Each structure stands twice: as structure tokens, then as C-alpha cells.
Structure 1
């Protein structure tokens, strides 16, 4: 979720492969890496100083608070996720949708371009999310599928 921000999937995949090779995605191994080691692993995804810190912050939250966080209502949980240093609106919503299985709308770049094209107006992340969430009666599975379809569309129609 963090590594794919502001880059293409291929670069995020390279960073994930690096992490997998070095740690086999074992949480303790990742968290025990030095800052420099983690930065080197995430480097292909760009913004590696900030992303390494954010990965560490998110995984630290996951390790210490996941059980408590998943009990929170969605709005409160979103506020908690946004309070994690390095986590913005899109990352928080992707975490809600895929990690916490909450039916939320992710207004990423592809999605905003899609809606802007068809509604002939510009949307900020917050404005599009707010407008869609008013009537968002999707299940988690439907929300995940909708997000995936919008991303596929966006990648095919750059």
C-alpha cells in the first residue's frame, strides 16, 4: 500500500521482491532492519527515505495495535490511520479496504481521472470520496472489485 504510492506497479513490485528476498516478509525481520537497509530495499519504489519510514510506522502499528484497531468503527479507524506519520488519505483508505476489510471508496488518481472525464469536472481526493461515500452501499468485496476495475481502466486509458 505504501510502496505503490507515486510510482508504477513495476517499481513497487521490485521493492516488494527485495523485501521478500531479504526477510521473507517476516514482520520481525523487516522491523529489525536498519533504516539504511530498509531504504535500500524499497529504493525502486521511489521516495525511499520517506517510504521506508512509513513502512516501518505502518508495520509497527500492525504489530502492536492491529487487534484493537480492527474493533474500531470505520471513521475512527480512518482517523487513527491518518495519524500514522507518512500515511495519507489514499493509503489510509486502501488499508481500510484491503487490510481491515471495510467497504470504502478509494479516490486514487485513476479514479479521479475517470470521474473527471465522465462528469466533466475536476475532483480532489476528498471531494470525490465524500460524494461517492454518501451513497456507497457496497460490500467489501464489491468495493474491492470496483477499485480494481477503476485501476485497470486507468492503466489502460492513460
Structure 2
């Protein structure tokens, strides 16, 4: 009878996958911003769109000196919607930004002191903040060691034989113990996420994630 891999075996598999990516995918700074709140805004705006479109919206906000929570809260709704229009769903996202802008003004100082699980629940209670967006904020803004189980990551994890998960929360519940056992640092988890995203951008060219993983194993990825 087949048995599921132990947390330690999964931890070793994740470590190996991270090392393969580090060795074969160009490493760049991932998800930098001129302020912590700019990263929060980017995490909200990137939902259901490309990062190119997010950059356009961020540039428009930056040009108007609006990438701060007070300006987001105070600016007329129509102006905010126009600024973030390149991201799509701009009316809905404008409401999300206003909600998290209020939260950031009121809670950021205390949030910096909260344990990861408690802060995650607080973020998830905000309108427009789902599990992936909450974890983006936890990792890149509050520097908690969380893994981002986005669609790219789940596909690569499946290709590597570390589990097949259709949904974000299913992967998180199953693999968080292994991530903790692997003792990734915050910097490593941020880099891991960036490397997976960069790989995902060209995965289709390779014929899918299974082929990407095969190329990583034989050292030919990116060649």
C-alpha cells in the first residue's frame, strides 16, 4: 500500500526544488517597492491581471504622489478608479484598496508585532483579501516565513511529485508543516516565490510544468 510522504521527506523535496531553481533560473529581487504600503497595493492589484498592468497602475499612483494609505483613503473614488483602470475590475479593486488603506492606517504599527497566524486571520477579514493576497502581504510586508501556494507553485509541486492540490488552502494545510520543517528563511521564501513565477512565465514554451521539472532535473532549464 502506498503511503504519503512524511513532512521531512516533503521538506527535503522542497529544499531540492528550491536549489534546482536557484541554480538554473536567474535570481532577481522580487516584489520590491518604494514603501511597504506600495507592496500592499501591488498585492491587491495583481489579482486576476498581469504584473505589467499592475506596474502601470502603480506608476499612475506614484506620479500623483498617491502611494500612501492616507491618499488612497482620501482621494475621490473616481480618481482612484481611473488610476488603477489598467488592472481591470477597477471599481471593485478601488473598494479593496480603500478598505486596506483604512486598516493600514489604524493597524499597521500593532500588526508588526502580531504572530503570523493572528495577523493572517485579521487580513483575511478584510474585503478583497483572500489567502494568496494575505500571504503575499505576510511575506513581503511583515516578513513572516510563509510559502506562496499560487497556481504556478502548485503546478510545479505536482510535477515534482510533492502533491497535487487543486486549491490554495488545500496545499497550504498539507505542505505548511513541510515548509516549516525545511526551515526556509523569509529571504529564501521570497526568492523561491520569485523563481517559481519567473519559471512560470516560460513554462508553456517548454510544454508544461512536467517538462520544466524534467529540464531542471537534467540541468537544461533555460538553455
Determine if the TM-score, normalized by the shorter chain, exceeds 0.5: yes
TM-score (norm 1): 0.93
Matched, 1:149 2:195: yes
- Residue number in structure 1 paired with 2:159: 117
Q: CA shift at 1:116, angstroms?
A: 2.9
The 5-angstrom pairing of residues 15-94 of structure 1 reads 15-94=57-136
Q: CA shift at 1:150, angstroms?
A: 0.9
- Residue number in structure 1 paired with 2:170: 127
Q: CA shift at 1:22, angstroms?
A: 1.8
Structure 1 or 2, whichever has the larger Rg, is 2
Q: CA shift at 1:113, angstroms?
A: 2.1
Q: 1:4 to 1:104 in 2, by over 3 A?
A: same
Moved more, 29-38 or 110-119: 110-119
Q: Gapped runs of 5+ residues in structure 1?
A: none
Number of equivalences: 158
Higher relative CO (CA 8 A, sep ≥ 6), structure 1 or 2?
A: 2
Give yes or no for contact 2:149–2:172 (8 Å, CA) kept in 1: yes
Question: For 2:129 and 2:66, how far apart are their aligned partners in 1?
Answer: 24
Q: CA shift at 1:23, angstroms?
A: 2.3
Question: For 2:184 and 2:100, how far apart are their aligned partners in 1?
Answer: 26
Q: CA shift at 1:28, angstroms?
A: 2.4
Two-structure CA RMSD over aligned residues (Å): 1.5
TM-score (norm 2): 0.67
Q: Gapped runs of 5+ residues in structure 2?
A: 1-42, 205-223
- Residue number in structure 2 paired with 1:104: 146
